Amino acid sequence: MKRIRKRIVTAGALFLAALFLLVGRLVQIQLISTESFSKHNINLIDESVRQRTHSFMINEGRGLLLDRKGEMISAELKPAIILFPFIQDQKGTIDEVANILGKSTEEIKNALKDHEEPFVIADDEDQITQEAMEEINGLQRPGVYAQYISRTKHSPFAGALLGVTGQAPEIIKKKYPDKLEKGTITINTKIGKTGLQQAFDPFLISEGETKLIYHVDRSGSPLFGLDVKYLSPSNPFYPVSVKTTMDSTLQGIMEKAIKVSHIKKGGAVLIDIEKNELLGMVSVPYTSGLMKNQMLSQHAPGSVFKIVTAASAIEHQDLANRGTFDCNLGIDGKEAKHALGTLNFSESFAQSCNRTFGLLANEMMKEDPNMIDEYAAKLGLAGTTGWRGQVYHYPDFAQFPEEETGNIWGASSDKKVPLAVSQTAIGQKNVQVTPLAVANMVAAIARGGAVREVKAATEIEYKNGTTFLSFSDHKKENKIEPYTAKKLQMLMRDVVTNPKGTGRALNGLPYKIAGKSGTAEKGDSKTSNKWFAGYFPADQPKYAMVVVDLDYKGGANPVLSAYSDIVKQIYENDKKNK
């Protein structure tokens, strides 16, 4: 008997303990941890409301990227008809909608049948006219709305430049704790992950979604009648728009030309010389949206870097006029792979003689071991090239946050090694620069020697079109002399006009070209970087452009082919718009 009683007491105690645990758990869920339940900090109140709320997002509230003409490039507006499931219980409503849209009643009923959330008929499949939208809204039927909905573009057009958005809860918590606290964003709000979306994210990030919502009971029926609410942010100035410098037409021309040229890794950069604004940028491959932008990454420039060595030679004791050079020899004094004969300085530049620039660099480095560094800086190849400065309360705002800095030397001791100096002078060894920086260097030469930072955006506008802030021009302090720039212009033009020049394939185009080619050998020796950096028209400079193939395997030169194609189409576009 005692044993039975003991078992009953034990069972009772266990039951009471389990009951207390259950009550405690309910207290925790209902009263204590309602806003931060479990290790995942789940807000149970929000989740409960979410389960009882059906909504349709019209606009996620993120700011827009515009091209230089003010056209949207990061998102698109589409006419749409939004149908809430409860209209199935409204007599005649579906018939009216079907009649206006030219569809059958059964077609719309079947579409709604399996939907618990609002169903949208968008302009992707249907030609929804403005008249149809006005007629739909004129019905004034609960659960039936005609709206222009905004959706982010996920197309490869200018993908590397514009970048992508996505969810990143940890970054949200770190960068925007004040917005989280205010409730204008959640940890699932999309942020810019790459490109201009990343650069301007502090301004573009959503200040609240615009959506249609209604509440349902457990069975899915409307909880408060058929009242659908329209919710939107209260601030009339947001979302803002970033007006970029990109020319959509020229961007399209560049993308098509790079694709046709079969450049698999590389791309192109186009700059407006007068304003020093980025007109277009193509980087391939581009598939996931998170791939590295090759135009903002370091690469060996090869003979394009001879522009720096030439500028130094022109400004110091006029070494460029010292005589001729034996271009049958390479930089090591041995027989060259491509014998070019005896050439003077201008001919050496046009035909890209390595021997000439190796010798000149060693002579100059004896006088000043920082000579190459100094002229690389004067031509904008040191540091970064993109616009950077104080913006609002951001002390070091960068329009190209992914841009890598240029590099000239691997070790300072190389400056005392003749072969290392020669290799550096022709853009090999440890020289690494970005295509954006090279395009900017060319723009500076075409302009007369003054280097500026490249802008990708000119201003940020409020929702009502007024200016929130503008980006002023940033000039670099160091620059080459006007005489040096003029001499470089002549040398670069000769690269194209000289019958033996490395850019002679570009002679005879509708716009006269001045530039410099480059081939940088890689460690694997199977591929090389193939460049052409130039500006046009040569007599009235308007555009600076770089095209580069970072996986060149020999044979026909895709860089010159793409360069030629782009120049021709830009000429036709300019002629059409005169």
Concatenate the DSSP letters of all residues of 459-515 into one string: EEE-TTS-EEEE----B-S----HHHHHHHHHHHHHHHHSTT-TTGGGTT-SS--EE
Q: Residue 507 corresponds to which amino acid?
A: N
Q: For this structure, is 150 an active site residue?
A: no
Indicate the pairing of strand 241-244 with strand 457-461. antiparallel
User: Tokens 């460049």, residue?
Assistant: 531
Least confident of 32-36, 385-389, 549-553, 555-559: 32-36
Is 319:298 a contact under the CB 8 Å cutoff? no
Is residue 434 within 8 Å of residue 404, measured between CB atoms? yes
Contact 190, 165 (CB under 8 A): yes
* SS3 state at 398: strand
- Widest distance between CA atoms in the chain: 121
pLDDT, mean of residues 136-163: 83
| Interior angle at CA 108, CA 102 and CA 111, nearest 5 | 140
Name the β-bridge partners of 475: 452
According to the model, what pLDDT value does residue 209 have?
A: 76
% residues pLDDT > 70 (the chain) = 84
Given a contact cutoff of 8 angstroms between Cβ atoms, the answer to whether 515 and 302 are in contact is no
Distance in angstroms (rounded) separating the CA atoms of residues 478 and 377: 7
Collapse the DSSP code of 136 into the 3-class scheme (helix H, G, I; strand E, B; otherwise coil) and give the result.
helix
| Average of per-residue pLDDT across 458-487 | 91
Single out the catalytic residue among 248, 283, 303, 517: 303
Which of the residue ranges 227-241, 313-327, 393-407, 520-534 has the most confident prediction, judged by mean pLDDT?
393-407
What DSSP designation does 304 have?
A: G
pLDDT tens for residues 424-453? 999 999 999 999 999 999 999 999 999 999
Global model pTM greater than 0.75: yes
Phi, psi (rounded to 5 degrees) for 8? -65, -45
Mark residue 286 as left, alpha or beta (left: phi above 0; alpha: psi -120 to 50; beta: remaining).
Answer: beta
- Provide the 3-class DSSP secondary structure of residue 407: strand
Identify which of 486, 489, 491, 488 has the alpha carbon closest to the alpha carbon of residue 502.
491
Instruction: Compute the average pLDDT of residues 304-313.
Output: 96
Which of 514, 558, 529, 550 lies closest to 307 in space, CA to CA?
514
* Choice between 53 and 346, residue whose per-residue pLDDT is larger: 346
CB burial string 81-99: b at 16+ within 10 A, e below? bbbbbbbeeeeebbebbbe
User: Do residues 327 and 298 touch, judged by C-beta distance below 8 A?
Assistant: no
Confidence of residue 38 (pLDDT cuts 50, 70, 90): low
Residue whose entry in the numeric block shows the structure tokens 């192109």: 268
Instruction: Tell me if residue 252 falls in helix, strand or coil.
Output: helix
Has residue 43 got a pLDDT over 60?
no
Q: Given a cut of 70, is residue 220 above it in pLDDT?
A: no
The CATH class of 248-576 is alpha beta
Q: How confident is the model at residue 183 (pLDDT cuts 50, 70, 90)?
A: confident
Residues 445 and 310: their CA atoms lie apart, in Å, by 12
The pLDDT assigned to 31 comes to 52
Question: What is the pLDDT at residue 148?
Answer: 84
Asked if residues 198 and 163 have their Cβ atoms less than 8 Å apart, the reply is yes
Quick count: other Cβ atoms within 10 Å of Cβ 344? Answer: 15
Where do you find CATH 3.40.710.10 in the chain? 248-576
For the residues 65-89, what does the mean pLDDT come to? 86
Q: Which helix (H) or strand (E) holds 559?
A: helix 558-576
pLDDT at residue 94, rounded to an integer: 86
Domain with CATH 3.90.1310 in the chain: 61-244
pLDDT at position 217 is 57
- Among residues 429, 431, 424, 432, which one has the least CA distance to residue 358? 424
Q: What angle do CA 458, 464, 465 make, to 5 degrees?
A: 25
Q: Spell out the CATH class of 61-244.
A: alpha beta
Task: Give the confidence band of 101 by pLDDT, cuts at 50, 70, 90.
Answer: confident
Q: How many CA atoms lie within 13 A of 108 on its CB side?
A: 27
Yes or no: say if 220 and 68 are a contact pair by the CB < 8 Å rule: no
